[in-house]
Amino acid sequence: MLKNICFLLMSALLFGSCSDKDNNVVVPDDGPDSETEKQIQVLPLILTTDKSGGHIYEQVGFSLQDSTYTGPNGGFAILLNYADDLDSLIWRVEGNEERVHLLEKNGTSDSKFTIEWGHYFYLPGNYKTLLHGYKDGEIVVRDSAVTEIFADGDFLNVNWEQLDQNLNKMVGYTNEHMKDYSLQVFTSLRDDVLSSRLSVRFDSFDYSRPDAVVGDREIELLGSYITELYGEAKYHLTDTPAPDELLKLFKTTFKEEQVLKIWRAGKSNIALIKSEDTDVIGFGYQIHAEPI
């Protein structure tokens, strides 16, 4: 009898020992391993615009929207719901390496989250803009929008026969966080002379002292821009003074050495000019246009 009891106890111990060992055996699982395959949560943020088409020098408004949210104060809701789910949020124009960082984290509560912003396009075309959001090196937001931009003004966005409230006012155009310059357009009607001028101002230069480098950049940017918009200049006058017959294309009085290039585009005569004191200060180049 005692032998039988001992045998049963030994059998139970052996069975228990085998069961513990079996419980430690790793059984293959057909599902994903949470340790090796990280689940990426895609956020429902989309890119919207206030217009599908527009004109050069006409601001296009962009904004973020939560495709799952239908309540009020959508922008504030995005800030509350997704700021911690993103390391960065970037917007850019396809083909352009410059980027706008919509989310800027500095480790404090002062982090900046841009929900709405505007952008100026200076050339016609179909522009695709891209929105990318990142978390832990993974893309969690991806969207795009297409905007068609037209250039149907007589000069830039100016129509000589439809002058607006900006007459005799300097209007500046800048894209925040992009480029290092701003453009200014001044359209005036004085002494029966209608004209418009395009100038550029660079952020990184000191305009309080002479600097020929500024002038070189003005020539490069303005000349190449007008050429891209209206084609090659018809007259190049950088090496020789402008003859009287070309100066007479404009009602504004210029000295012969002030006019460097002339374009004839549609309803406009356009010139790259320098100011009377450019030779002294090194800069002051502009684009001048008048109706034909």
- Cα–Cα distances in Å, from 193 out to 40, 227, 259, 290, 291? 63, 25, 18, 8, 10
Could you tell me the two tokens for 269?
């005569």
The secondary structure of residue 121, as a DSSP letter, is -
Q: How many CA atoms lie within 13 A of 290 on its CB side?
A: 16
235 burial type by CB count under 10 A (0-12 exposed, 13-18 middle, 19+ buried): middle
Domains of the chain: 45-150 (2.60.40.10), 169-291 (no CATH)
Instruction: Name residues whose C-beta falls within 8 Å of residue 15's C-beta, 6 or more positions apart in sequence.
Output: none
In the prediction, which pLDDT does 202 show?
96
Mean residue pLDDT across the chain: 87
Please list the pLDDT of the chain residue by residue as tens digits (292 residues): 434 433 333 333 333 333 343 433 343 444 444 444 456 679 999 999 999 999 999 999 999 999 999 888 898 999 889 999 999 999 999 999 899 999 988 766 667 899 999 999 999 999 999 999 999 999 999 999 999 999 999 999 999 999 888 899 999 999 977 789 999 999 999 999 999 999 999 999 999 999 999 999 999 999 999 999 999 999 999 888 999 999 999 999 999 999 999 999 999 999 999 999 999 999 999 999 999 9
**Residue 14: predicted pLDDT:** 32
pTM score, whole prediction: 0.82
Amino acid at 230: Y
Query: In this predicted structure, what is the pLDDT of residue 28?
Result: 43
What digits encode the pLDDT tens for the residues 119-167? 999 999 999 999 999 999 999 999 999 999 999 999 999 999 998 888 9
Task: Give the span between the Cα atoms of 44 and 215, in whole angstroms.
Answer: 47
Q: In what order do the strands lie in the sheet with 88-93?
A: 53-55, 138-150, 125-135, 88-93, 100-101
Q: Which of 118, 116, 146, 143 is nearest to 131 (CA)?
A: 143
139's tokens: 């893309």
Instruction: Check residue 2 and give its pLDDT.
Output: 36
> What pLDDT score does 66 carry?
97
Distance of alpha carbon 265 from alpha carbon 226, whole angstroms: 10
Q: What is the β-pairing status of strands 60-66 and 116-119?
A: antiparallel
Q: What is the dihedral of CA 239, 241, 247, 253, to 10 degrees?
A: 120
pLDDT tens-digit map of 83-115: 999 999 999 999 998 999 999 887 666 678 999
Amino acid in position 54: G
Residue with structure tokens 């004085």? 190
CA distances from 201 to 40, 204, 206, 208 (A): 45, 9, 10, 13
The residues that bridge with 272 in the sheet, in sequence order, are 261, 287
Q: Which residues contact 292 (CB under 8 A, 6 or more apart)?
A: 264, 267, 268, 269
In the prediction, which pLDDT does 71 show?
A: 85
- For residue 247, what is the enclosing H or E element? helix 244-247
Burial 112-138 (b: 16+ CB within 10 A, else e): ebbeebebbbbeeeebebbbbbebeee
Strand partners, 46: 65
Q: How far apart are CA 200 and CA 185, in angstroms?
A: 9
